Amino acid sequence: MLTATYRGVAIEVLEADITEQAVDAIVNAANNDLILGSGVAGAIARKGGPTIQEECNRHGAIQVGEAAITGAGELPARYVIHAASMSLGGKATAETIQSSVAHSLKLAETHGVQSIALPAVGMGVAGFPLEQGARVMMQTLKAHIEAGSNLKQVRFCLFGQEATQAFERALQEVFGG
C-alpha cells in the first residue's frame, strides 16, 4: 500500500476488493443506464444484493460523465456512487472519466461522505489505458481537494498488480506521495 496526505486528506492506493471496504461510500465503475453487469458493477451487485440494482432502476439512466448515488445494500459501506464513464457496451474517454469522477466526489460531499473508495473507473470493461486513466483520476481528486473538501480518506482499491502499480505511479506523480 502506498499512501500520501494532501491538505489533510489521506490518499491510499492498494490492491483490494472494493466491496469489502468499510467506508462511507464506494464508487462503482458504471454505465449510464446504471445496469450492474460485469466487472466492479457485477461484484457490487453480487455482494450488495438486489436492492442496489432496484434503486438504480428507480433512479433511471443518467448522462455519460455524470454520477448517481444509491444505498449500499448488504455491503459494509453506506452508499454506492455510480460513476458513469461509458454507455452500456461503450468505451470511456479521459473526459468521461474526469467528469464522472468529479461528479462522484461532489455527490460524496453533498451526502456527508468523509471516507470513499474508488476503483479504476473506465479502465476495465470500458477499455481506457491504465496509466493515463490513473493520472486523470488523481488529477481530478487533487482539483476536488483544492476546491475545498470534507473528505478525510480516499482509498483507491484496485484489482491486480498492474493496476495497483499504475495508480501508485500516478499518486507519486500528482501528489508527490
pLDDT value at residue 125: 83
- What are the distances in angstroms from CA 13 to CA 76, 120, 147, 150, 169? 19, 11, 22, 20, 10
Torsions phi, psi for 137 (to 5 deg) = -65, -45
| CA neighbor of 15 nearest in space, from 171, 174, 177, 168 | 168
Task: Report the alpha-carbon distance of residue 170 to residue 145 in Å, rounded.
Answer: 16
Which grid coordinates belong to 56? 438504480
pLDDT value at residue 177: 56
DSSP strand E in 17-122: where? 25-31, 67-71, 79-86, 115-118
Secondary structure class of 131 (helix, strand, coil): helix
Q: Residues with Cβ < 8 Å from 13, sequence gap 6 or more?
A: 1, 2, 3, 156, 158, 164, 167, 168, 171
| Residues β-bridged to residue 152 | none
> Mean pLDDT per segment of 10 residues, for the chain of length 177 residues?
96 98 97 93 96 97 98 98 94 97 98 98 92 98 97 97 98 90
| Residues β-bridged to residue 28 | 82
CB 122 within 8 A of CB 86: yes
pTM (global) more than 0.85 = yes
pLDDT value at residue 88: 87
Fold topology of 2-175: Leucine Aminopeptidase, subunit E; domain 1 (3.40.220)
Residue type, 107: L
